């Protein structure tokens, strides 16, 4: 904003001249109201621009020039005078305030009346524009009749000698009335007097600026828009500028818009083009500022943005001839200034909420666009031809002209005359159009475009990083940083370029933008060359070698040669001081070398051999000689470091020492049938397979999971130069299938290719064809050798609940020489010891003898012999898989304690499932209206039990019994269907139905009748194992509870009858009906519970006798006392013969009480 004149940026304030009583001028100015000048710094200024002078020096007042009577033949020299705004904002007076003082002690003015009249006449004689003059008489203390007479005489003298026009512009601020009158200026009440005076001066100044605007508007009668477009633009700009003095912003925006529109009618000649752009810039700035300050909020922002978009659309193509860079400089400044306007007038809380969706509201967008236009300006300046003669003549011209500047000697805004001195005569002359264009081209060429553009890019980055925009703009900031770095590289500011590139590389690498990353890495390599940073150059060169990077192969080959020259100390860059480690997890691109590892076996026992395949595929564009291939393994108690060198050396010793104690940490490289010397040169895109092996000793061997943690390839340079290490974090790999990768891949040994054969568990070759895939396996289990005692079992799964399940345990001594002593075989569950409620172990099924301590004891087992043992397992509940753990502890011939273990997953299922249903003697379902089963006390009922087999083998049903609870119900016929049931065999899914006749005795909602019990056993079938025929003799009981049901007493019942809705205060009936369905006279006790919400009439408690097969109804009157949903007095009916309450009256009764209708 510093490019603009101050009078354009500041809000114009009326200019007021204070004359006379100079001692009070500063006090008056200090008491004036203040207006906000700069919202950024909260800078305020007085509401008037005040000038101060004495009464005898009124020549500072500008005289008005005569207006033209005709514009015929008028040829304007420009659009708007360069001093117009400054003159009216600082010098042209709108109100002249003449201050005279009344001396109360002398009863006279500080000047005599003749002198005062002369001063006023002198002011009248000047050709004032339309300025108002105000006479102010100050006094202090009390005033008398002399003051009133003197002021009256002075007023008559002045007004009598003045013409009508001048008298109308003369305002008196004196009064003989009380001190509170607006006309008085009492020094004792200075602040109040200034406030009243300010209001009157503001009114006079507004009238002055309004009259000035009217005087300019009268010129429209003698103007033609097409003939005099310059004057049309000028007059409308002046009218808008004068409207700002009186804070009429609506009129100001109207006339600024008109001037902006009329500016398009001005012929766009090459001479006047800078003026058009300058005035368009000024008017656009005024319109945007007024929209932001007067409209406020989002509407004002949108209006300002709309105006700026229109401004950009109209003038972005107005390039002109000769120098395109000047136009892009001007347009870049338009965007920069508008961004600064948004920053100035956008509130801080609003800026903090800006996001990508804010779009054109974001100030960062305009700084970013201004920087982009600056880059375009730089390219245009570089492409503009400049002759050597022009460089010699104007080589000192460094700074291009800014059109918005007001330079000394400028007559019209936008005109920047250039004066040249004749080298021969020494005389000065104005430069021609061609010479001016030539000077501008030289200035553009000499200008420091890079610094200016970098400054704009940094400002855009700062704005984008404010508030919520910082989260979404990281990609946009990366783009800005890339462009900034490119400019810094062009200006050879390497360190600053590196600071810009580092976060960009991290972002593009994380988001896998390979095309952008390759471009940025090439710039980073250029910085590394200039900074002599060999390590960085090598690291990023390796990153560019990845197949995902879209560089051409010849470019990659050139970079690879340059990197190898550094490693060999042959290049221009210094040698490496430390190895360069490249971790594949830090690079998101595809690895330089595809490395896959495979343990051939998932587990290896002590005494066996671990076989490891390493498959490498290089993506370098040229063959790469690797000096070291290293593998690192880990175990909880042991770590293995394995490496293979290019000269055939192996870490830990040669192959002959592979089984020695000192070489336990060594994995030998093996190539059957070929020499040990090998070549680790990796050919481009050619898979190479290497195989390692390690024998696990029998004694003192480790146990656990051997996992490959890290694999690395070393590329070394010279004898004393550190090399490059490519590392893979194998622990982050998942077991994946590398489809299409040949398993039998040629390994290169001494330039001889061969196929690695498929191997079996012992490492011997197989004749079968190999798989066509390479399955990665990064770990193998090192396990102990199997114990000499082998445990096996024989049984017939699944087991049935409550069954004595036969389990045969076979113990075999697999040693050929030594015997096994003191064998203890124990049984346990996976989640607890055997013997708990879930599972029990017995030694005999007929006598139900538990196995002592759940342990079998065997004294001795000879070599090669097998012992046979039988136990019985019992489970009272079903389980999908009950794991039985069979553990054996024993000692071998050398008294060494050993153990063996076998897990037996045993499913336990129910033999049958049972369902019960209830019927009346007429075989109708015993159901009640509300749903569910219901029986009646004393009435015979039928119970049907339907049994379905769930066992996977045939089951023989022995008997079915219904065991009823005492006092609840009884069987009518003890010799019912169940006792005459013949044994029957049912298969899986078969059903068996039995019926029972019962008599309920007890009433209740959930009555448990008893339990159904079926006795069954396994039936013989073809799949029985030898020796398992006894399982068909073991009887199994399967008890099933009869579901609870409702049993009702049908001999007596009761019903409470009352209306659902009543009115507050009205009487309503409440009836209790008792029905006796028996053949006896029944006696009942009826009582009611009192309630505070009702009045109850009649006996609260009474005894009632009801005849056989009859009904008794008792009615009571009730009055409701409260509104709402209420519980009526609860009726309790007690059956004296049965000795219990009748269940029909247990439920509470409700009634809704309405308020009375008025």
Q: How much is the pLDDT for 407? A: 66
CB 956 within 8 A of CB 983: yes
What span, in angstroms and rounded, lies between the C-alpha atoms of 279 and 237?
9
For the cut 90, the answer to whether the pLDDT of residue 750 exceeds it is no
Tell me what the mean pLDDT of segment 1077-1084 comes to.
86
Nearest to 207 by CA among 174, 164, 169: 169
Q: Would the pTM of this model clear 0.85, i.e. be above it? A: no
Q: How much is the pLDDT for 746? A: 28
Q: What is the 3-state secondary structure (H, E, C) of 894-916?
A: CCCEEEEEEEEEEEEECCEEEEE
pLDDT band with cut points at 50, 70 and 90 for residue 982: low
pLDDT tens digit string along 123-135?
666 655 567 777 8
What span, in angstroms and rounded, lies between the C-alpha atoms of 10 and 37?
6
pLDDT band with cut points at 50, 70 and 90 for residue 405: low
What span, in angstroms and rounded, lies between the C-alpha atoms of 957 and 959?
6
Q: How much is the pLDDT for 159? A: 60
Tell me what the mean pLDDT of segment 613-622 comes to.
82
Q: How much is the pLDDT for 467? A: 64
CB 729 within 8 A of CB 712: no
What span, in angstroms and rounded, lies between the C-alpha atoms of 1156 and 601?
93
Q: How much is the pLDDT for 734? A: 40
Find the range with the poorest average confidence among 351-365, 476-490, 946-960. 351-365
Tell me what the mean pLDDT of segment 840-858 comes to.
84
Collect all residues with Cβ–Cβ distance below 8 Å to 913 and sequence separation of at least 6. 947, 948, 950
Q: How much is the pLDDT for 851? A: 84
Nearest to 898 by CA among 823, 836, 989: 823
pLDDT band with cut points at 50, 70 and 90 for residue 1076: confident
What span, in angstroms and rounded, lies between the C-alpha atoms of 153 and 176?
13
pLDDT band with cut points at 50, 70 and 90 for residue 167: very low
Residue 432 in 3-state DSSP? coil
pLDDT band with cut points at 50, 70 and 90 for residue 720: low
Q: How much is the pLDDT for 257? A: 94
Q: How much is the pLDDT for 588? A: 58
Q: How much is the pLDDT for 186? A: 60
Q: How much is the pLDDT for 595? A: 79
The angle at the Cα of 761, spanning 756 to 764, to the nearest 5 degrees, equals 45
Q: How much is the pLDDT for 601? A: 84
Average pLDDT along the chain: 77
Instruction: Name the β-bridge partners of 151.
Output: none
Residue 1065 DSSP class: T
What span, in angstroms and rounded, lies between the C-alpha atoms of 1152 and 1128?
10
What span, in angstroms and rounded, lies between the C-alpha atoms of 79 and 1124?
88
pLDDT band with cut points at 50, 70 and 90 for residue 760: very low
Count, residues in the chain: 1158
Q: How much is the pLDDT for 1059? A: 93
pLDDT tens digit string along 662-713?
222 233 333 333 334 355 778 888 887 777 777 777 665 677 788 777 788 7
Q: How much is the pLDDT for 74? A: 76
- The strand pair at 1010-1018 and 955-964 is best described as antiparallel
The angle at the Cα of 888, spanning 887 to 891, to the nearest 5 degrees, equals 155
Q: How much is the pLDDT for 362? A: 83
pLDDT tens digit string along 1116-1158?
999 999 999 999 998 998 888 877 788 778 788 899 999 987 6
pLDDT tens digit string along 71-110?
776 777 888 888 888 888 888 888 888 887 777 667 777 6
Handedness of CA 33, 37, 39, 44 (dihedral sign): negative
Residue 202's H or E segment, with its range, is: helix 190-217
pLDDT band with cut points at 50, 70 and 90 for residue 648: very low
Tell me what the mean pLDDT of segment 708-736 comes to.
67
pLDDT band with cut points at 50, 70 and 90 for residue 652: very low
- The strand pair at 1045-1048 and 934-936 is best described as parallel
For the cut 70, the answer to whether the pLDDT of residue 1110 exceeds it is yes
Q: How much is the pLDDT for 240? A: 93
For the cut 80, the answer to whether the pLDDT of residue 189 exceeds it is no
pLDDT band with cut points at 50, 70 and 90 for residue 639: very low
CB 994 within 8 A of CB 976: no
Longest dimension (CA), the chain: 155
The angle at the Cα of 547, spanning 546 to 551, to the nearest 5 degrees, equals 85
- The strand pair at 849-850 and 840-844 is best described as antiparallel
Per the model's pLDDT, the better-predicted residue between 187 and 1079 turns out to be 1079
Q: How much is the pLDDT for 990? A: 92
Q: How much is the pLDDT for 633? A: 74
- Of all residues in the chain, the percent with pLDDT exceeding 70 is 77
What span, in angstroms and rounded, lies between the C-alpha atoms of 898 and 854?
20
- The strand pair at 805-813 and 1004-1007 is best described as unpaired
pLDDT tens digit string along 268-303?
877 788 888 889 999 999 999 999 888 777 788 889
What span, in angstroms and rounded, lies between the C-alpha atoms of 972 and 960?
16
For the cut 70, the answer to whether the pLDDT of residue 424 exceeds it is no
Q: How much is the pLDDT for 48? A: 84
Tokens of 664: 């336990």
What span, in angstroms and rounded, lies between the C-alpha atoms of 194 and 32?
7
Q: How much is the pLDDT for 653? A: 32
What span, in angstroms and rounded, lies between the C-alpha atoms of 609 and 599?
11
For the cut 90, the answer to whether the pLDDT of residue 441 exceeds it is no
What span, in angstroms and rounded, lies between the C-alpha atoms of 614 and 628?
14
Nearest to 827 by CA among 796, 873, 867: 873
Tell me what the mean pLDDT of segment 850-871 comes to.
87
> Quick one: CA torsion of 815, 818, 821, 825, rounded to 10 degrees?
0
Q: How much is the pLDDT for 610? A: 80
Tell me what the mean pLDDT of segment 419-434 comes to.
66
Residue 18's H or E segment, with its range, is: strand 15-19
Residue 668 in 3-state DSSP? strand
Q: How much is the pLDDT for 1072? A: 92
Q: Which residues of 274-302 are buried (b: 16+ CB within 10 A; e: fewer)?
A: bbbbbbbbbbbbbbbbbbbbebeeeebbe
Tell me what the mean pLDDT of segment 1077-1102 comes to.
88
How many other CB atoms sit within 10 Å of the CB of residue 842?
17
pLDDT band with cut points at 50, 70 and 90 for residue 335: very high
What span, in angstroms and rounded, lies between the C-alpha atoms of 1040 and 1035?
16
Most confident of 200-204, 520-524, 560-564, 1089-1093: 520-524
Tokens of 284: 């656009």
Tell me what the mean pLDDT of segment 936-958 comes to.
89
CB-count burial class (<10 Å; 0-12, 13-18, 19+) for 599? buried
pLDDT band with cut points at 50, 70 and 90 for residue 7: confident
What span, in angstroms and rounded, lies between the C-alpha atoms of 44 and 341?
18
Residue 917 in 3-state DSSP? strand
Tell me what the mean pLDDT of segment 424-439 comes to.
69
If you search the block for the tokens 């396990």, which residue do you land on? 783
CB 912 within 8 A of CB 960: no
Residue 606 in 3-state DSSP? coil
Q: How much is the pLDDT for 1105? A: 92
Q: What is the 3-state secondary structure (H, E, C) of 346-364?
A: CCHHHHHCCCHHHHHHCHH
Tell me what the mean pLDDT of segment 730-752 comes to.
35
């Amino acid at each position: 904003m510093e490019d603009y004149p101050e009078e354009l940026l500041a809000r114009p304030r009326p200019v007021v001249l204070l004359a006379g009583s100079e001692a009070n001028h500063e006090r008056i100015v200090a008491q004036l109201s203040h207006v906000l000048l700069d919202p950024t710094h909260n800078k305020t200024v007085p509401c008037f621009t005040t000038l101060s002078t004495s009464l005898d020096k009124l020549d500072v007042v500008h005289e008005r020039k005569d207006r033209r009577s005709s514009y015929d033949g008028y040829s304007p020299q420009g659009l708007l005078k360069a001093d117009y705004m400054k003159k009216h904002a600082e010098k042209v007076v709108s109100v002249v305030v003449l201050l005279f003082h009344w001396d109360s002690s002398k009863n006279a003015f500080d000047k005599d009346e003749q002198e005062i009249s002369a001063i006023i006449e002198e002011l009248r004689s000047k050709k004032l524009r339309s300025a108002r003059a105000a006479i102010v008489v100050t006094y202090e203390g009390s005033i008398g009749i002399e003051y009133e007479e003197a002021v009256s005489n002075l007023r008559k003298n002045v007004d009598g000698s003045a013409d009508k026009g001048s008298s109308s512009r003369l305002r008196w601020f004196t009064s003989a009335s009380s001190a509170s009158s607006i006309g008085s200026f009492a020094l004792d009440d200075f602040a109040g007097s200034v406030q009243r005076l300010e209001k009157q001066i503001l009114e006079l100044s507004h009238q002055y600026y309004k009259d000035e605007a009217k005087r300019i508007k009268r010129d429209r009668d003698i103007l033609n828009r097409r003939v005099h477009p310059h004057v049309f633009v000028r007059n409308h700009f002046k009218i808008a500028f004068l409207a700002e003095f009186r804070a009429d912003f609506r009129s100001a925006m109207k006339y600024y818009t008109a001037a902006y529109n009329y500016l398009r009618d001005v012929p766009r000649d090459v001479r006047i083009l800078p003026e058009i752009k300058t005035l368009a810039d000024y008017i656009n700035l005024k319109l945007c500022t007024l929209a932001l300050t007067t409209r406020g909020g989002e509407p004002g922002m949108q209006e300002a943005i709309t105006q700026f978009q229109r401004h950009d659309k109209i003038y972005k193509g107005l390039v002109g001839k000769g120098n395109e860079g000047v136009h892009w400089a001007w347009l870049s400044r338009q965007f920069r200034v508008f961004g600064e306007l948004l920053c100035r007038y956008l509130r801080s809380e609003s800026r903090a909420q800006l996001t990508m969706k804010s779009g054109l509201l974001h100030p960062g967008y305009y700084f970013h666009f201004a920087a982009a236009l600056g880059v375009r300006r730089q390219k245009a300046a570089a492409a503009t031809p400049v002759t050597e003669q022009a460089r010699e003549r104007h080589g000192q011209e460094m700074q291009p002209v800014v059109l918005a500047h007001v330079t000394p000697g400028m007559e019209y805004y936008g005109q920047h005359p250039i004066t040249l001195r004749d080298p021969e005569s020494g005389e000065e002359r104005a430069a021609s159009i061609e010479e001016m264009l030539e000077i501008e081209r030289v200035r553009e060429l000499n200008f420091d475009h890079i610094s200016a553009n970098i400054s704009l890019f940094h400002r855009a980055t700062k704005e984008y990083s404010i508030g919520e925009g910082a989260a979404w703009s990281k990609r946009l900031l990366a783009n800005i940083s890339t462009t900034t770095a490119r400019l810094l590289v062009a200006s050879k500011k390497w360190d600053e370029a590196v600071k810009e590139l580092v976060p960009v590389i991290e972002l593009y690498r994380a988001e896998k933008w390979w095309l952008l990353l390759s471009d940025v890495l090439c710039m980073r390599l250029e910085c590394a060359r200039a900074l002599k940073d060999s390590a960085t150059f090598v690291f990023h060169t390796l990153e560019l070698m990845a197949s995902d990077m879209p560089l051409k192969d010849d470019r990659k080959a050139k970079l690879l040669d340059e990197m190898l020259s550094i490693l060999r100390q042959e290049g221009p860059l210094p040698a490496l001081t430390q190895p360069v480690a490249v971790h594949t997890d830090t690079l998101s691109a595809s690895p330089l070398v595809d490395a896959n590892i495979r343990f051939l076996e998932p587990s290896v026992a002590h005494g066996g051999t671990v076989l490891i395949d390493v498959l490498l595929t290089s993506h370098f564009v040229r063959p790469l000689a690797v000096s070291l291939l290293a593998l690192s393994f880990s175990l909880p108690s042991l770590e293995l470091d394995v490496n293979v060198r290019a000269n055939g050396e192996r870490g830990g010793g040669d192959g002959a020492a592979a089984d020695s104690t000192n070489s336990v940490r060594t994995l030998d490289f093996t190539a059957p049938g070929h020499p040990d010397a090998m070549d680790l040169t990796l050919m481009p895109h050619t898979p190479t397979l290497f195989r390692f092996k390690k024998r696990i000793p029998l004694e003192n061997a480790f146990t656990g999971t051997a996992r490959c943690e890290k694999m690395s390839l070393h590329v070394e340079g010279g004898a004393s130069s550190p090399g490059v290490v490519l590392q893979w974090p194998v622990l982050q790999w998942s077991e994946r299938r590398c489809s299409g990768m040949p398993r039998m891949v040629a390994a290169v040994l001494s330039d001889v290719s061969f196929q690695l054969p498929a191997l079996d568990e012992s490492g011997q070759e197989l004749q079968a064809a190999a798989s066509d895939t390479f399955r990665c396996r990064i770990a193998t289990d090192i396990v102990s050798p199997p114990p000499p005692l082998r445990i096996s079992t024989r049984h017939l799964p699944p087991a049935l609940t409550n069954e004595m399940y036969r389990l045969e345990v076979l113990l075999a001594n697999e040693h050929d020489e030594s015997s096994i002593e003191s064998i203890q075989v124990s049984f346990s569950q996976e989640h607890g010891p055997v013997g708990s409620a879930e599972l029990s172990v017995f030694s005999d099924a007929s006598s139900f003898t538990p196995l002592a301590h759940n342990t079998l004891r065997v004294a001795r087992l000879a070599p090669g012999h097998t012992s046979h043992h039988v136990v019985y397992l019992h489970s009272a509940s079903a389980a999908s898989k009950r794991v039985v753990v069979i553990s054996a502890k024993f000692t071998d011939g050398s008294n060494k304690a050993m153990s063996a273990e076998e897990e037996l997953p045993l499913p336990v299922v129910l033999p049958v499932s049972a369902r019960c249903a209830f019927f009346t003697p007429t075989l109708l379902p015993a159901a009640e209206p509300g749903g569910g089963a219901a029986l009646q006390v004393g009435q015979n009922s039928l119970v049907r039990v339907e049994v379905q087999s769930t066992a996977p083998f045939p089951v023989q049903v022995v008997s079915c019994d219904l065991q009823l609870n005492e006092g609840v119900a009884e069987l009518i016929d003890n010799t019912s269907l169940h006792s005459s049931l013949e044994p029957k065999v049912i298969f899986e899914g078969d059903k068996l139905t039995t019926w029972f006749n019962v008599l309920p005795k007890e009433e209740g909602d959930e009555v448990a009748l008893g339990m159904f019990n079926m006795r069954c056993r396994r039936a013989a079938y073809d799949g029985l194992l030898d020796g398992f025929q006894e399982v068909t003799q073991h009887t199994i009981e399967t008890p099933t509870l009869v579901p609870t049901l409702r049993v009702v007493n049908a001999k007596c019942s009761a019903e409470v009858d009352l209306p659902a809705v009543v009115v507050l205060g009205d009487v309503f009936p409440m009836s209790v009906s008792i029905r006796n369905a028996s053949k006896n006279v029944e006696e009942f006790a009826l009582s009611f519970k009192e309630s505070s919400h009702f009045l109850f009439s009649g006996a609260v408690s009474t005894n009632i006798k009801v005849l056989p097969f009859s009904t008794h109804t008792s009615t009571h009157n009730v009055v409701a006392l409260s509104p709402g949903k209420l519980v009526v007095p609860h009726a309790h009916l007690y059956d004296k013969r049965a000795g219990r309450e009748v269940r029909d009256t247990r439920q509470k009764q409700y009634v809704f009480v309405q308020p009375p209708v008025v």
